[in-house]
Every structure is written in C-alpha cells, then in structure tokens.
Structure 1
Amino acid sequence: MIVFSAKVSKKHQDKLQTSFPNQSFVFCDSAQEVKQHIGEAEVYVTFGDDVDEALLASASKLKWIQILSAGIDGLPFDVLQNRNIIVTNARGIHGIQMSEYAISMLLQVYRQAKEVIRNEEKQVWDKSVRINEISNKTMIIVGTGAIGSEVARLAKAFRMHTIGVSKTGRTLEFFDENYSMDMLNEVLPKADFIVSVLPSTGETKDIYAWEQFKKMKNGAVFLNMGRGDAVVEDDLLTAIRKQEISHAILDVVKEEPLPESHPFWKEENITITPHFSGVSPEYVKRALAVFEDNLNCFIEGKDCYINQINLSRGY
C-alpha cells in the first residue's frame, strides 16, 4: 500500500492510479486518516514534517519514504537507519523558481523597489531614487548543487563573475572559480552578492556569524534561501545596523513564521519573505515525476533511487 499524507490534486491522483494500476494508493486528507492506514503502508509519500518516531512506530511494514520537498530537517535518522527504511527527497526540482527568486530579489534591492513602491503609493514622482545595476558584479554562491548552479547560470546572463563554494570545491559549469567550504572566509571579501543555498547539517549550523559578516564588503548583499539555522541572527542584525553589509534578504529564518516582535521586520535593509522561494505552479508535477521514477525502482526491486538520503550523514 502507498499512503499519501502529501496533498495532491485529483488530476495527479488519477494519473498515478492510471500509470500504476497494480498499486494500491491511499490519499489522506487528515492526520487521522494517516493513522488509520499507516500500519499497512509499505510506501509513505509526505512533505516530511509529519515523520517522527511515533508515526514510524505505527508503520511496521514501511520500506520507503518519499519526501516531496528538499528539506529533511528533524527526521529521526537513527530510527530510519536502524529499520533500513529508504528515504528519498525532491532535491533538484527547485532550481528554476529559486534561481529566479534570487535574481529578482537582488534586482529589488539594487533597483530600490521598496522606495519606488512607497513613492507610488504616496503618488510621489521622485527621479532622485538611487538605482544601481547588478551586471558585472561578483557573486559568491555557497552551495553549488542544482539550485546554486542555476543561480550561477542566470548570473552569467548579467555578466557576473561567479564563485562557487561547496564541500569539495570541485570545478563546475557556470562558475569562474570554485573553493571548498574551508576557504569561505578567504573569498567572502570578493563578493558584491553572497547567495546561500546550504542545507541544514551539523556542519552548516551558524556558519554565518560575526566573523563572516565582518569579512564581507560594506556594500555586500547577503541572501539566504537555504536554511535559517545557517545564520547567527544577532550577528546579522549587528552587521546590518553597523553597516558592515548593505542589505540582507532572508527567505528562511530560525523560527518560522518570523515572530511579529522580531527586530528583522523593522530594519529597512533587511528584506523578509515567507520561505516561498521554492514555490512554483509546477512544483507538484516535478516532485511527482521524481516519485514515479523511484516507484518504478521500488516495484522492480532495483537500487536506482533518485535523491536517496544517506541516513548516517543526514543528507
């Protein structure tokens, strides 16, 4: 039995049932329905936030979990590993929308969109607004997977010099320079834009602290659309207030939703968006394409899963 807690439209449900007529699908509308069926599930399809030890304890037949998002934060990795449950996610389907988000937000800052919109609302005709160009600047992309590589590809359309920082520092297309993570502090002073697409791991937690912000250019723009726990938020706030960096764009923060009382909201030079850089009308279609490929592997008993998570490493 294949149990879905992830909500998918009737159109997608019908397509799955047509494509896999010999499989039994259960599409749940509530947590209560999941509880009723999880005991019979061999496959569980979810967005990931409901996978905990209690659910796994009830899922005695479970062999594989397909997560229809990239995030796997908070999964009980020890339990999954002990039970040899395969976990796959949907990383790699976010490149288009997240790269468009990154470029659009950098343009928003450089083209003074906040001020322009305020002037329009107040019916103010002000040609003195200071507009800048993102072309021919230097961009560091920290995390050079599918998303980071697509950001770099779009950046090249603006004739940017692109620097990739990753765990291995391997050479990649669309990057003019590549460095390993232990070189991050050395390359930060080069950048006009720092775009972080890091996942949440023990190695990436609090990786952007005062030391890193201090090394950035005073005019640098820092954009985080990876995970919020990569940033020491008090240090970022200090860096903004002391003008160590020019602007921060945050699609992810440590506590989501960001509390109304959080000082980030009131900082003119911090732009907050509600963790929606990965949103796209094509999202579910792309995620289910990964699931369908993996379901064929599962049915055929082959070890050919796309995006299989290394449970000992957590990614």
Structure 2
Amino acid sequence: MDVLFLFPVKEHHEQRLKEEFPDVNFLFDRKPDDAAALETSEVIVTYGADLDEAHIEKAKGLKWLMVASAGLEQLPQDAIARRDLTVTNVRGIHKTPMAESILAHILSYKRGLKKIYEQQARAEWNKKIGGKEVRGSNALILGPGAIGGEAGRLLQAFGVKTYGCNRSGRKADYMDEMLSFDGLLEALPGMDFVVSVLPSTPETRGLLKKEHFGAMKDTAVFLNFGRGDLYEEQDLINALNEGRPAAAVLDVFDIEPLPEDHPFWGMDNVTVSPHASSLSGKYVDRSLDIFIPNMKLWLAGKPEEMENLINTERGY
C-alpha cells in the first residue's frame, strides 16, 4: 500500500511511521503534481490547500484522505463527495496552543501590556496603563468544541463566566451556560469577550452581521480565531470605528496574507495576528498521534471506528 505525504516531515517522524508500519510504502515530501505517486496512493496526507478537483480525479487508488488541518474549506469537497472517500482531520490538536493564545491576548489587553511595551520603547515611566482584572468578566465562546472548551477551562480558572454558543445550544464542556445561534444577538450585550473558534461551514459563513457588532458593549473585545468568512470585514471595521466593540484581536482573515494596504494594519484597536495561534512546534507530532491509531484501524478494516471522521456534505 502506498501512503503519500504532501508536506515535509522530519526524519524522526519518518522513522516513527516506518517502525509502526513496516509493510506500508510511505512516499514522503512529494508534490500533488507527482502523477505516479498520486495515482497509486490509497491514502493521502495533506494540509488541504494543495489539492484541487483535478488531483482528486487523477488519484485513482485514493480511498482515505487524511487532512492535517481542522478546516476543510480549501478542499474540493464536491469532488471528494462524488468519490465517496473516507476523510479525517486533526480536529483537537490545536486546542492547547490556540487556547493559550486566546488567554494571552485577553490578559494582555486587560493588563495593558501593549502600553507597557510602548512605554519601554520610549524609556517612559508611567503607571497609568489602565490595567483591569479579568476576574468577574463574561466570555461568549462561539464554537465550544475542543479549542473553545480548552479556552473555557482556562478562562474559568481566571474567574471568568463562560457562555458557549453553537448551532443547537447543546451542552459543552467548561461552559457555565449554553445558547444556540438563535439566541446570540440577545446575549451579546452582556459579554465582555466574544471569542470565535468556529469553522467555515454553510451555517457559520456570514453568521455575524453589523447588528451583532452593534449589540456588543463599548468595552467588549472581539477575538476571531476561527475563520475569516464569519462576517464581512467592512462591517467589523465600521463597528470598531463606531466604538462597539472596543477592540478586536484577529488571527484569521478573508484574504491571507493580509494585504499591506488593509485598514486593519493601521487601526490602534486591532491586533493583527498572522494566523499563528496554533503554532507551537508540536503540530506534526500531534497530527501523527491521530494518524497512527487511525492507520491501524484502516489496515484492520475498521474505518468506521477512526477518529475525526468527516461528514463531507456538512464539511465537519
């Protein structure tokens, strides 16, 4: 069996895989235009953005697509659905670095770290940095899954009350209260932090409208660590200029890299993060921690028991 990796892995990762699966032929660090490798591989491991519909059609032997990413919106989903392929992702591996990033930005904002850094650059001694406590705040987490739940756990440890919001309002870990998307507009005026870790799906694209931003407190902070198509960027720009919310921390954007002339770069109440919140140096290790058990189940003829199976029609 050929297993094709479309992104580079380190030597110790290759060795780990060969030791676990001595009878599998791994094709490491190939490109999707490697026609021979594409055609013979039963399993393809990819970040997702490098495959298009033509590649899927050429991959005659493909049965399982392992996506080393949580989001699937960059994949040719119609072509994948037509082939009835098994698709898995690495949902959950981002939870530690992303939750820590969310907490870091919240603490930085509340404790005035940006102002402290700016004062240091000017050799200025000034205690009036406007630092406030996080304890006693309310945080609304859009998408309280693995990442949102871990963010909720950390925030609760700091005395923050957590509200989870998903499509159905069903219970989620580390959320003090739950609501559905239908109750979102009503809940926003009571929130100090609004954090999105939502994926890009038909239900979430364009979910936030200008009325949602307008309903936020004039002291609230909006943080988007999910996907950039959650709202129209101009709506957020207008809302920030009007003072509701007070500030935004953005790790994802409609167009990436963010264009040099984009207004976000010049806005004092916006923190631009280069889609880096999930980085920690452990990405591939954690991806393999999901891939290896799934590969064992695949070889045993038990694909239905694999972790992180994706419904290709829903996209998650």
Same fold? TM cut 0.5: yes
The worse-fitting range, judged by mean Cα deviation, of 263-272 and 304-313 is 304-313
Contact 2:32 2:38 in 1 (8 A): no
Give the Å deviation of 1:231: 2.0
Q: How does 1:1-315 map to 2 (within 5 A)?
A: 1-32=2-33, 34-302=34-302, 303-315=304-316
The worse-fitting range, judged by mean Cα deviation, of 127-136 and 6-15 is 127-136
Give the Å deviation of 1:276: 0.8
Give the Å deviation of 1:130: 1.1
The worse-fitting range, judged by mean Cα deviation, of 229-238 and 218-227 is 229-238
> Over aligned residue pairs, what C-alpha RMSD do you find?
1.1
Structure 1: how far apart are the matches of 2:76 and 2:96? 30
Give a deviation string over 1:80-122, Cα, whole Å, max 9, x none. Answer: 1211111110001111111000000011111222221111111
Letter in 1 for 2:46: T
Give the Å deviation of 1:170: 1.4
Give the Å deviation of 1:31: 4.6
Structure 2: how far apart are the matches of 1:110 and 1:272? 17
Structure 1: how far apart are the matches of 2:28 and 2:315? 28
Structure 2: how far apart are the matches of 1:163 and 1:129? 29
Q: How many correspondences in the alignment?
A: 314
Structure 1: how far apart are the matches of 2:68 and 2:292? 11
The worse-fitting range, judged by mean Cα deviation, of 111-120 and 265-274 is 111-120
Give the Å deviation of 1:186: 1.2
Letter in 1 for 2:133: E
Q: Secondary structure at the match of 2:305?
A: coil
Structure 1: how far apart are the matches of 2:46 and 2:300? 22
Contact 2:66 2:89 in 1 (8 A): yes
Q: Secondary structure at the match of 1:154?
A: helix
Letter in 1 for 2:19: T
Give a deviation string over 1:144-173, Cα, whole Å, max 9, x none. Answer: 100011011001111111100011211233
Letter in 2 for 1:22: D
Structure 2: how far apart are the matches of 1:125 and 1:81? 61
Give a deviation string over 1:204-247, Cα, whole Å, max 9, x none. Answer: 11212211001111110000000000021111111111112110
- Taking every aligned residue pair, what percent have the same amino acid on both sides? 40
Structure 2: how far apart are the matches of 1:40 and 1:28? 16
Regions of 4+ moved over 6 Å? none
The worse-fitting range, judged by mean Cα deviation, of 75-84 and 152-161 is 75-84
Give the Å deviation of 1:202: 1.4
Structure 2: how far apart are the matches of 1:56 and 1:49? 13
Give the Å deviation of 1:74: 2.5
Letter in 1 for 2:4: V
Give the Å deviation of 1:6: 2.0
Structure 1: how far apart are the matches of 2:76 and 2:49? 11
Q: Secondary structure at the match of 2:244?
A: coil
Structure 1: how far apart are the matches of 2:305 and 2:38? 25
Alignment gaps of 5+ in structure 2: none
Letter in 1 for 2:310: I
Structure 1: how far apart are the matches of 2:171 and 2:74? 31
Structure 2: how far apart are the matches of 1:95 and 1:172? 15
Give the Å deviation of 1:30: 4.1
Q: Secondary structure at the match of 1:42?
A: strand
